[in-house]
Structure 1
Amino acid sequence: MADRLLVVEDSNAIAAVIKKIGIALGYEVTTASTLLEVEQILQGDTDFFAATLDFNLPDAPNGEVIETVLSHGIPSVVITGKMDDTTRSTILAQPVIDYIPKENSQAYMYLKRILYWQKANKGTGVLVVDDSRSARNYIVQLLKRRNFTVFVAETGQAALETLKQHSNIKLVITDLEMPVMDGIALTNELRKHYSREKLAIIGISGAKNPMLSARFIKNGADDFLRKPFCTEEFYCRMMQNIENLHNIEQIQTAANTDYLTGLPNRRAFFSEVKSRLQGFIEADFSYGLAMIDIDYFKQINDRYGHDAGDFILKNLASKMRKKLPEALLARIGGEEFAILLSGESQTAIYDTLDDFRREVAISTVDFDKQNINFSISLGVVFNCQLPLAEQMTLADKGLYASKENGRNQITVVDS
């Protein structure tokens, strides 16, 4: 079920823009133009993920709608045409997600970012490290408004232990002034174990030393805030760091993922396979490295078209994920795939691969009102402790032998 967004706006044109933004982000949108309509909606239905609230409504000109909606526990973004300090203070005195002045079209781009991240933040961990309970609780409340999963630690040592236990933590906010291990020492220690691509760190301090920001950053922090900080600046800096991590993750995913099938690509396979092989060897597990090729793939392209060929590649990748969920899978190139999997014995691994081969051969793929059958050939090497490149060469020789001997079969190559 889609998350629901309540849009409160007395301008039909602006309401239409916000509704379009909400729908584009996957929200189910309900609109209201007056406080009375809002009250009527909330009498029987308060199940909204978020709300956007116009500060000035015909029957509520001074932001009265904010308290009404917040009283039902609905996270809210306030949109206002007023720019004075009194209005700003009135809004920020309440636990809203944020407020946006109606200055120009960028306001709606910013709203789109907020609504996107309100959903995307779910499950993302943030660790707050501060020996002051009141300071911790204040930051925790700010973070919870943005739908983060929040963890707390009173000391640097406790922070390190918490990070070991929760892999979903993407951001650490640490105070400087703490006993035993201060925030700068903690930052330095964190950077020994967590790169900037995996973890963002924001230092905070109430000290007036102008060099603190430089000291934090030189020791590995990504940003710095001086207490007492402005709520708006806190959110801007925090979200900028979260977005940076997200962008890096997307770039890394694109660099390591085959664009068509969604499987790891050749680069990712070679990066991951060495550590897995070493783990199998150390644990004395049986394992097999297999190369797979789709039989007569050129004929499929020639007869049904390249779109059909692409569909077959995606179909095979989907079958591999389903049948071999624990294996390391990759599209090496063209119609060739690689599999690394472990099992109780070489026989068990062979049977798993052969069952998969048979399943592919008897299945029919429906594409553009046509039924397409295809098969695969495999070459596999078992428990081979030669260098990876040589293992791949041996498995490839087995694959070539399967092709030469009639296709739709597995050839085992001794190492």
Structure 2
Amino acid sequence: MDIPQEAVVKPRILIVDDEAAHIMTILSIVGKEYEVSFAMNANDAFRLSQQYPQPDLILMDITMPECDGYQLCAMLKADQQTQHIPIIFVSANESEEDIAKGFNVGCVDYLVKPVRQQELKVRVATRLALHKHTRSLEQLAYQDPLTQVANRRKFTETLQREWSRCVRYHQPIAVLIVDLDNFKQINDSFGHAAGDHCLENVAEVLRSSIHRPGDLVARMGGDEFALIFSDFEPSASNKKCRTIQDMIARIPKFKNSDESADLTVSMGMSVMYPDTKSDALDALREADSALYKSKQGGKNCYHISKPYCAGETKLAHFK
């Protein structure tokens, strides 16, 4: 069966070079097979590497003004948000010392200019295949098998990473806990297959609500999910919760010959400005406390806890 052209997602390559002619040369070789973007300085390259969707491979020159390729590669490998992206140096520097330095700072391959067309194609294809395989293995270790979203282990690691990043850049972070109301009743009345389908539907709704590389949705266990929104604008918290609530309300009712049931959720959100005196788990605890308030308040609602700094909590309730 033919796959629709729009369904095929091409691997993404970022070319980093301060010479337009060199960018055009590489583009002429790989541009038809891959989705290609480019940057002519380290600042733009770093920014593009963090944007969603992130590149699957970076082809990078070494000699650049202000910040050279060695420095940029080291920066990307030191940042948890970009350290997984493989980097191939494409440089006119061909001494053994230059090549060894490239591998020491974290590149996976090194090509000498002028590049040979077939060699570049083969090395790019090989590195992309290895990268895809590695990411698939990592996904198995960090993915909930039923809903295909992240698991608790991945959530904990991501929260710690994004918390540290928000401390460094003085950005707010939000944690949202979503708990299905009366899930046991759905299992008992409509069967466990219906319960599994319910969890899959909710996971799909939550997955559609995240848009940045640092954002994450995870199944924490049972009928509870948690989301991370990095660099989150506090004023958007009510709208975000309301949107998720409305989307879940549109999931079709569960029915059999005797009864039907709507699917509703209770939610608790915390929005915090991390600092060195606070801890990532503070955000999770605040969100969990807000969720408890929602459950105590009759379910099918959400509470938002907004500590603008650690320990300064303001709680709001919404039906």
In structure 2, distance between residues paired with 1:27 and 1:352 = 33
Query: For 1:219 and 1:165, how far apart are their aligned partners in 2?
Result: 19
State the partner residue of 1:332.
Answer: 220
TM-score by length of 1: 0.52
Spell out, residue by residue over 1:156-211, the C-alpha distance to the aligned partner (whole angstroms, 9 max, x if none).
xx442451453355322537xx6989xxx94421222122621412345586x667
Alpha-carbon shift at residue 381 of structure 1 (Å): 5.4
The answer for unaligned runs of 5 or more in structure 2 is: 78-82, 306-311, 314-319
Measured on the aligned residues, the alpha-carbon RMSD in Å equals 4.9
Equivalent in the alignment of 2:36 = 149
Distance 1:200 1:403, change over 3 A: same
Alignment of 1:226-375 (within 5 A): 231-273=117-159, 275=162, 279=166, 289-321=175-207, 329-339=217-227, 349=237, 353=241, 357=245, 360=248, 364-365=252-253, 372-375=261-264
**Partners of 2:113 and 2:304 in 1: how far apart?**
66
Task: Work out which structure has the larger RCO, using CA pairs closer than 8 Å and 6 or more positions apart in sequence.
Answer: 2
Output aligned runs, 1:10-49, within 5 Å. Answer: 23=1, 26=3
The question of 1:188 aligning with 2:70 is answered yes
Distance 1:172 1:159, change over 3 A: farther
- Percent of aligned pairs with the same amino acid: 21
Distance 1:220 1:273, change over 3 A: closer
The answer for the alignment partner of 1:14 in structure 2 is: none
Q: 1:132 to 1:329 in 2, by over 3 A?
A: closer
Unpaired runs of 5+ in structure 1? 1-22, 29-48, 50-115, 153-157
Secondary structure of the residue that 2:107 maps to in structure 1?
coil
- Assess, with a 3 A threshold, how the Cα gap between structure 1 residues 162 and 356 changes in structure 2: closer, same or farther: closer
Paired residues, what number? 288
1:292–1:324 distance in 2 versus 1, CA, 3 Å: same
1:128 deviates by: 6.0
Give runs of aligned pairs for residues 170-185 of structure 1, distance below 5 A: 170-174=57-61
Deviation at 1:309, TM superposition (A): 0.8
Please tell me whether the aligned partners of residues 266 and 291 of structure 2 are also in contact (alpha carbons under 8 angstroms).
Answer: yes
Contact 1:199 1:245 in 2 (8 A): yes
Matched, 1:389 2:281: yes
Larger Rg: 1
Structure 1 counterpart SS, 2:226: strand
Q: Where do 1:70-219 residues align within 5 Å?
A: 120-121=9-10, 124-127=12-15, 129=17, 133=21, 138-149=25-36, 151=38, 158-164=40-46, 166-167=48-49, 170-174=57-61, 186-195=68-77, 197-205=84-92, 213-219=99-105
Equivalent position to 2:110, from 224, 231, 248 = 224
Report the alpha carbon displacement of residue 352 of structure 1 after superposing the two structures with TM: 6.1
Give the whole-Å Cα distance in 2 for the aligned partners of 1:351 and 1:228: 53
